[in-house]
C-alpha cells in the first residue's frame, strides 16, 4: 500500500502497471493484490481503471511509510549505503514486533530531531562515520595485500 501512496503522490493517480513496475511483479499479480486489498476495503480498485486508497488504506499506508523512513534513517545513521538501506528498511518494516518498531522510532527521532537531545549526539554520529571510513580503508588495504 505504501507504493500506491508514493505513486499517487508522484503522478496524482495510480494504475496497475504503475504498481507492478514499482513492486517488481507481473500485472496479474498486482491485480490479485489489489483485489485482496479491495475486499478488505483498503483500496478502491476498478478493473481497467485506477487504484485509490480508502481513508483506512491511506492511514495504514502512511504508518507503513513512516516505519520504512524510520528504518532507512536508522540504517543511514549506521552508514549503510543508500540503496541497501532502502532495501533493508523494507524487510525490517514487515518483520519486527510493534514494540521494537516503536523503540526504533523513538531512537531515530531522538537522534535526528529532538531539540533536547544531548549535544554530543551529532558529534557521536560524525565520529562513528569517521570510524567506519577508517575501517573501510583498513579492509581495502588488507584486500590489496
Average pLDDT over residues 109-135: 82
29: nearest Cα among 39, 16, 45:
16
DSSP H or E run through 59: helix 55-77
Cell of 2: 505504501
- Residue 1 C-alpha cell reads as 500500500
Per-residue confidence (pLDDT) for residue 124, from 0 to 100: 84
The highest-level CATH class for domain 2-53 is: mainly alpha
What number of other Cβ atoms are within 10 A of residue 132's Cβ? 13
Task: Please tell me the class of the 66-144 domain.
Answer: mainly alpha
pLDDT at 117 over 70: no
Q: What are the helix and strand counts (H, E) for the chain?
A: 7, 2
51 — pLDDT class (breaks 50, 70, 90):
very high
**Percent over 70 (pLDDT), the chain:** 97
Enumerate residues 6+ apart whose C-beta is below 8 A from 21. none
Every domain of the chain and the residues it spans:
2-53, 66-144
CA-CA distances (angstroms) from residue 27 to 8, 21, 23?
Answer: 18, 8, 10
Amino acid at each position: 500500500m505504501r507504493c500506491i501512496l508514493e505513486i499517487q503522490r508522484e503522478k496524482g493517480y495510480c494504475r496497475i502497471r504503475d504498481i507492478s513496475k514499482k513492486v517488481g511483479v507481473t500485472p496479474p499479480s498486482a491485480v490479485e493484490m489489489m483485489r485482496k486489498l479491495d475486499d478488505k476495503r483498503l483500496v478502491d480498485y476498478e478493473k481497467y481503471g485506477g487504484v485509490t486508497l480508502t481513508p483506512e488504506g491511506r492511514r495504514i499506508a502512511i504508518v507503513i511509510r513512516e516505519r520504512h523512513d524510520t528504518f532507512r534513517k536508522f540504517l543511514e545513521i549506521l552508514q549503510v549505503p543508500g540503496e541497501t538501506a532502502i532495501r533493508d528498511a523494507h524487510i525490517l518494516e514487515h518483520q519486527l514486533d510493534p514494540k521494537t518498531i516503536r523503540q526504533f522510532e523513538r531512537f531515530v527521532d531522538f537522534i535526528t530531531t529532538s531539540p533536547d537531545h544531548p549535544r554530543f549526539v551529532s558529534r557521536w554520529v560524525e565520529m562513528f562515520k569517521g570510524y567506519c571510513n577508517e575501517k573501510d580503508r583498513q579492509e581495502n588495504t588488507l584486500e590489496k595485500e
